[in-house]
Amino acid sequence: MSNPWIAIGALALVGLAIPVVMMATSALLRPSVPEQGKRATYESGEIPTGSTRIRFNIQYYMVALLFVVFDIETVLIFPWTVIYSDAVAEVGLARALVPMLVFLTTLVVGLGWAWRNGAVRWVRSPRAERQKVEQ
Amino acid sequence: MLPLQSATPLPDRISGLLGLGQFGVPGELLAGLLASALVATFVLLNTAVAGPWAKRKITASFTDRISVNRIGPFGLGTIVVDSVRLLSKELIIPERVDRPAFDLAPLVLASSALLGFAVIPMGNGIQVADPEIGLAYVFAIASIASLGLVMAGYASSNKYSFLGGLRAVAQNLAYEIPLVLTGVSVVIFAGSLQMSEIVAAQEATLFEVAGVAIPQWFAIVNPFAFGLFLVANLAEVGRNPFDIPEAPTEIVAGYQTEYSSVYFVLFYLGEFIHIFLGGAIIATLFLGGPAGPVLPGIVWFTIKIWLVFLLTQWCRSAVPRVRIDQLITIGWKGMLVLSLANLVLTAAIVGVIA
């Protein structure tokens, strides 16, 4: 049995080579016709205004924070699921399941707290609220 | 008949056939490259048929139109014509783009989606590698795509792209956890993260109906998890009803607004490979991998991933798009709670029966 990671590395090489070859082929085929205004940022035909580096809805940030918590949780759940069946046979149902239930309950309490605090509720800005036409 | 699940992965068989075993690591690498080339060709062939042809034909049949039919039988020549047409378009780099990130984003998306196929057992022993942590690996690789999307959204220096990138991240964050939690509920049955073990665990007979043995596919054992996984997977690959990162009627084309020529092709390609990767994960976890009667494994595997592709296109034609606030609500308040409940219930039931 050879090392599987060598084969995965080989697929990574192939996976990189295919897009790079496509880019090279396209570079050989495609024309280049520089024109005034062609490279302007697309804003539906209007003249672009302002920068893109703007403030955005804080909601995206809240959701990302919540994700970190639950992602680490899934990392801890992975090994538990692998050994679960063996663990039940070895030490019985209670000792295999209950500690994980306690852990999950803690997280669900956390989710409930975030839920009540509105971290997963989409907040409209006051301006969007004013401009709302129908509900 | 060839064995469904050969014990040796494809690179080892190739190195055995060509006598590469005596060259040590370079020989292994060469065998790995040959196997990877085969798998990549298979994936790209499916993508080539799906992207420029099948997608249009399926949408056309849903909306009662004819679609591509001019070149070749059933318009199949469109695949070649379209790829040449798209590759020979002028590449327009907009002003003020963030240059390395703008060029790398399509590469990240296409490569990562292809890399996920490394551990997928495709039947007849076609599997590039079979590491013990196969399932964790495939989830990890599949989520690299969101990095590509946010790179594209931020580097384009376009407000539509920026919004699209943010939406892509919010969506993938909200649905990644239900996806993984539902995925590991299968691991409770299989007791292993190795893909070949997960497939082997589904071979046993669950019950017999009129002499026909119904296999223990996890879609039949736990249909609730199967449904959850299908929905989470739709969101993960960004298809309707969860295609808000692209949302052509709201934000032009989302993160790919400013991409043209080969970069656009790579985005398009990456998305379709991603759909097939999602289909491959579903087939492996819930539909018995390459298992099936009469036909060889690779054919069954192809049928299964195309069924998932058909489902995504069906939803594209039939289901309206959700709003971003609805998406967050469904993800965090609905799917997450349901997937946690699924995990606990599965664990409890398996524990009581075992």
- The domain segmentation of chain A, as residue ranges, is 56-135
- List beta partners, residue B212: B209
What is the average pLDDT value for chain B, to the nearest integer? 83
Torsion on CA atoms B239, B244, B247, B251, rounded to nearest 10 = -150
**Chain A within 8 Å of B22 (Cβ-Cβ)?**
no
**Predicted pLDDT of residue A2:** 67
**Predicted pLDDT of residue B3:** 46
Average the pLDDT over each of B23-32, B83-92, B188-197 and give the range with the smallest value: B23-32
**Predicted pLDDT of residue B306:** 92
Q: What is the mean pLDDT of residues B124-141?
A: 84
Contact status, residue B201 vs residue B190, Cβ threshold 8 Å: yes
Asked if A43 lies within 8 A of B185 by C-beta distance, the reply is no
Return the SS3 of A124. Answer: coil
**Predicted pLDDT of residue B354:** 66
Asked if B184 lies within 8 A of A8 by C-beta distance, the reply is no
- The domain segmentation of chain B, as residue ranges, is 10-353
Find the closest chain A residue to B190 by CA distance.
A82
Cβ contacts of A22 on chain B, cutoff 8 Å? 87, 262, 265-266
Find the closest chain B residue to A108 by CA distance.
B337
How do residues B285-318 score in pLDDT, each as one tens digit? 888 878 777 778 788 889 989 999 999 888 888 8
Cβ contacts of B265 on chain A, cutoff 8 Å? 22, 26
Number of H helices, E strands in chain B: 15, 2
Q: What share of chain B is helix, strand, coil (3-state, %, to 5)?
A: 70, 5, 30
Paired tokens of B57: 């034909």
**Chain A within 8 Å of B275 (Cβ-Cβ)?**
no
How do residues B20-46 score in pLDDT, each as one tens digit? 767 777 777 888 888 888 888 888 989
Q: Which of A23, A40, A60 sits opposite B166 (nearest CB)?
A: A60
A83 Cβ neighbours under 8 A, 6+ residues apart = B191
What ipTM does the predicted assembly reach?
0.82
B81 Cβ neighbours under 8 A, 6+ residues apart = B71
Residues within 8 A of A (CB atoms), B 81-110 only: 84, 87-96, 106-107, 110
How do residues B140-157 score in pLDDT, each as one tens digit? 888 888 888 888 888 888
| Proportion of chain B above pLDDT 90, given as a percent | 4
Find the closest chain B residue to A65 by CA distance.
B173
Residues within 8 A of A (CB atoms), B 188-247 only: 188, 191-193
Best of A1, A3, A5, A8 to disrupt the B interface (most B CBs within 10 Å) is A8
Q: How far apart are CA B235 and CA B117, in angstroms?
A: 19
- Number of inter-chain CB pairs under 8 A, A vs B: 245
Cβ contacts of B324 on chain A, cutoff 8 Å? 122
Q: Which of A5, A33, A73 sits opposite B131 (nearest CB)?
A: A5
N residues, chain B: 354
Helix (H) or strand (E) holding B139: helix B134-142
**Predicted pLDDT of residue A111:** 83
**Predicted pLDDT of residue B2:** 43
pLDDT higher at B129 or B61: B61
Helix (H) or strand (E) holding B215: strand B212-215
pLDDT greater than 50 at residue B176: yes
Q: Nearest Cα to B111, choosing from A22, A14, A69?
A: A14
Contact status, residue B153 vs residue B164, Cβ threshold 8 Å: yes
Paired tokens of A129: 């609220």
Contact status, residue B313 vs residue B234, Cβ threshold 8 Å: no
How do residues B204-255 score in pLDDT, each as one tens digit? 777 777 767 777 788 888 888 899 999 888 888 877 788 877 777 777 777 8
Q: Nearest Cα to B151, choosing from B188, B203, B104?
A: B104
- Dihedral sign of CA atoms B197, B198, B201, B203 in order: negative
pTM for the model: 0.88
Q: Which of A40, A81, A107 sits opposite B188 (nearest CB)?
A: A81
Cβ contacts of A67 on chain B, cutoff 8 Å? 173-174, 176-177
Which stretches of chain A drop beneath a pLDDT of 50?
none
Q: How far apart are CA B170 and CA A66, in angstroms?
A: 11
Q: Which of A11, A40, A41 sits opposite B39 (nearest CB)?
A: A11
Q: How far apart are CA B268 and CA B219, in angstroms?
A: 30
Cβ contacts of A96 on chain B, cutoff 8 Å? 351
Asked if B8 lies within 8 A of A1 by C-beta distance, the reply is yes
**Predicted pLDDT of residue B160:** 85
Residues within 8 A of A (CB atoms), B 43-62 only: 44
- List beta partners, residue B207: B214
| Backbone angles phi and psi of A110, in degrees to 5 | -60, -45
A72 Cβ neighbours under 8 A, 6+ residues apart = none
pLDDT greater than 50 at residue B4: no
